[in-house]
Amino acid sequence: MTTFAWKNLFRKDSKEKSVLETLKNTHIFGSLNKRELRLVMQTIHVRGYTPGETIFVQGELGIGMYIILHGRVDVLARTQSDSDESQVVTQLFEGDFFGELSLVENQGRRTATAIAATETSLIGFFKPDLMEILERQPQTGSKIMLRLAEVLGRRLKETSVRLTELKQETSKAPGRSSL
């Protein structure tokens, strides 16, 4: 584990290529050209996590999103709002991203807990980084914002569909009013 830590702390540019590749393949940064991606590379944070290490906790203030460079992340949610018990709701793999809502929310809180399931490397992209890009190269920032809006819109659509399905299921259940 110590080796992992040292590697993570002082490994320089060996990961650069895979970071660039991962960024290019992430929808939010997908429309950026090489020069714009280089600016994003200057702003992001590559973080290493050991198995079982918490990335963030449900209810905590969040300031940004993570992209999985390699490894696996378990996403857990509390079974009830006042309960301490959580259950895994989804598993995320290389190239997946999560926590993007915090990039646009003011004082936004994490809606789930994320834990590294294996040795994991994440690319962290946070609100101050987005602000820096918007300040230094607004065109690049706008492209990212547009893609971010697309992602959030898609998530909203998915949630709406799911909510409608749930409502339909509830109304079909015996002894329930259709209202």
Partner 1 sequence: MTTDSRRLQIRRLNRLRLAGFFLILLFWLASVLIVENLLISTLIAFVISYLLSPVVNRLERQGFDRLWSTLWTFTVVGVLIGVTGFLIFPKLATALVALQKEAPTYITGFSRLIEDIESHLRAIFGPLFSFDLRELAESSLTQGSEAFFNEIPRFVKQTLTVMILAPFLAFFMVKDGRSITRKAFNLIPNHIFETTLSLQHQINHQIGHFVRARLLEALIVGLVTWFGLVLISFPFSLLLGIFAAVTNLIPYIGPLIGMIPAIGIALVNGSSNFDLLLVFTVYAVAQIIDGGLLIPFFVARLVNLHPVTVILVIIAGAQFMGVLGMIISIPVASTLKVTLETIYRHLTESRI
Residues in contact with partner 1 by CB under 8 A are 1-2, 5, 9, 42-43, 45, 47, 49-57, 59-64, 81, 109, 124, 126-128, 131-132, 135-138
Shorter beta-carbon distance to partner 1: residue 54 or 164: 54
CB of 161 to partner 1, least distance (A): 26
CB of 133 to partner 1, least distance (A): 11
Shorter beta-carbon distance to partner 1: residue 128 or 153: 128
- The Cα–Cα gap between 89 and 79 comes to 10
User: Pairing relation of β-strands 54-56 and 113-116?
Assistant: antiparallel
CB of 135 to partner 1, least distance (A): 5
Shorter beta-carbon distance to partner 1: residue 18 or 43: 43
Angle between helices 34-43 and 16-25 (to 10 degrees): 110
Query: Tokens 């393949």 appear where?
Result: 25
Shorter beta-carbon distance to partner 1: residue 20 or 57: 57
CB of 106 to partner 1, least distance (A): 12
* DSSP characters over 76-134: EEESSTT-S-EEEEEEE-TT-EE-GGGGT-SS-B-SSEEEESSSEEEEEEEHHHHHHHH
